[in-house]
Homo-oligomer: A and B are copies of this chain.
């Protein structure tokens, strides 16, 4: 099997830490990390209650263009009125000592601007995936956070999710023997009018939004970076939704050890996220691998059969990632999914688009 590198060990150790997260780990700091949530859309609705459920994090500010909505949520989470910001006065957040970090839950195209402005305001940044709409923006975000000496984490939920972590452990511990191939897909039938259908706001189509989960999974499952990527994209568009972004993407990857992977994504049909990993001594499969709940791990290796449904309910994944980031802030550790991880995916997405002939 692929020998574990020092980097693998560091990564695994971070993962184990997350997997075994226990309250006493947070005893090192009594002060909960205060978050400003930037953007009060759908994903914030998961982050807000999740953060309330952590032992080490709390909501201390909101940033929104809709004052009414913000007031309502502020009341719910005990956020004082003077800690509600809009996109014009956002930079004043620098003066708010209750805000240690921000959660960037905006459309993709705004991730870079608000990560950089937050860093300049001296706040740590937890930024949703995809990190940005271009490699150049990712690099600017990393540089800004480095210059401001704040932490930057990309909100890759699956890095902190028990079933995904178990699959990683099984693979790294050799349960499947030598991994040979991975299949993974994730997509959905997008509603008309979503900002995700705007190339300017989203950067691209389903690859940016959900295909990125399969791409990222292939990388974290085996701890390797793809050496070769080739792809096709298409837009069938039977109903006029796809004027700006592609509808379907399929791509193949080859990793340094020889492991191959095939992935696909779509905005044109329901494509429940999954991955299958095939090894010399068996296989494992995770269904609903990338959604908020309902994950199921099946495996058959070396005489062992597994069929495990993960009973964890939403928003536990958001809770785990927030706990991790707050813990990293409290203990001055590098997050398991730093900006560099988001940058890599953007580099591969760029390669996929290039291979598929999509201008980026």
CB within 8 A of A276: which of B185, B247, B258?
B185
Q: How far is the CB of A211 from chain B (nearest CB, A)?
A: 11
Stretch at the interface among A10-18, A118-126, A176-184: A176-184
CB within 8 A of A260: which of B249, B258, B300?
B249
Is A254's CB within 8 Å of the partner chain B? yes
Is A187's CB within 8 Å of the partner chain B? yes
Stretch at the interface among A278-286, A308-316, A328-336: A278-286
Most chain B beta carbons < 10 A, residue from A238, A248, A252, A261: A252
A178–B236 touching, CB < 8 Å: yes
Q: How far is the CB of A280 from chain B (nearest CB, A)?
A: 5
Stretch at the interface among A31-39, A45-53, A224-232, A338-346: A224-232
CB within 8 A of A271: which of B236, B238, B250, B278?
B278
Is A233's CB within 8 Å of the partner chain B? yes
The docked-state distance in angstroms from the alpha carbon of A269 to that of B1 is 13
Interface size class of A (residues with CB under 8 A): 35 or more
Is A149's CB within 8 Å of the partner chain B? no
Is A318's CB within 8 Å of the partner chain B? no
Residues of B within 8 A of A262 (CB): 183, 185, 250-252, 262-264
CB within 8 A of A234: which of B234, B235, B260, B279?
B260
Known: A181-B187, A234-B258, A269-B281. 15 other contacts (CB 8 A): A176-B269, A178-B236, A178-B269, A180-B248, A181-B271, A183-B262, A228-B232, A230-B232, A233-B260, A236-B258, A238-B280, A248-B259, A248-B260, A270-B282, A270-B300
Report A's interface with B, CB cutoff 8 A.
1, 176-181, 183, 185, 187, 189, 228, 230-236, 238, 247-254, 257-264, 266, 268-272, 276, 278-283, 300, 355
